[in-house]
Amino acid sequence: MNELLNAKMKKRWIALFVVAVVFGTAAVYAWWSPRAGPAETPDRIVVLKSERRMILYRGSEVLREYKVAISRVPVGAKTREGDHKMPEGVYTIDAKNPASAFHLALQVSYPNAEDRARAAADGVRPGGDIEVHGIKNGLGWLGRFQRWANWTNGCVALTDPEIEQVYKSVPVGTRIEIRP
């Protein structure tokens, strides 16, 4: 009986240890993020969907580079509402939303006139609400783990510390190129 009790206690301690290591590692990984000082003001953002990368430029100089999470359907350009794709093309950052459901957001000017015309010709709605944003409010502890999967509905997602830096440095009117 004592052996059975000891075996159960040993299993519980091992399980508790494993859980503590996993959550401890997750916490360190999520919160350990380089927090750079203020970035220079970029004049262009380039998103490379196939590389899951976002680059901020001033002229031809790379100011900052970020690994990002992107849309659940990463291949192909957005053509209609609900297709879970990111648009491809040249747009602008046309607004900032400090009260977004995701930690800060930069609104992308999708759909433009060409997108609306294409959707109208296909008899569909083009969709919208494409943003560069942080993690869903309340889930910021996920940190870099959020990059492990393509999870957005057509947006570009950064960690909360990263979007804070981008949000401060990117002015409304900045050009954003979204490439395949």
Instruction: Please write the tens of the pLDDT for every residue from 75-94.
Output: 888 988 989 999 999 999 99
Residue 16 and residue 63 in one domain = no
Predicted TM-score of the model (pTM): 0.75
Dist. CA 135–CA 162, nearest whole Å: 10
**Residue 168 maps to which CATH number?**
2.40.440.10
- The domain tally of the chain equals 2
Residue range 92-118, pLDDT digits in tens:
999 999 999 988 999 999 999 999 999
Token pair for residue 172?
A: 């409304």
Positive/negative CA dihedral, 26, 100, 78, 81: positive
Residue 72 and residue 99 in one domain = yes
Dist. CA 115–CA 98, nearest whole Å: 27
Beta carbons of 97 and 123 less than 8 angstroms apart: no
Residue 156 and residue 73 in one domain = yes
37: in domain? no
Residue 117 and residue 88 in one domain = yes
Instruction: Provide the residue range defining the domain that includes 75.
Output: 44-179
131: in domain? yes
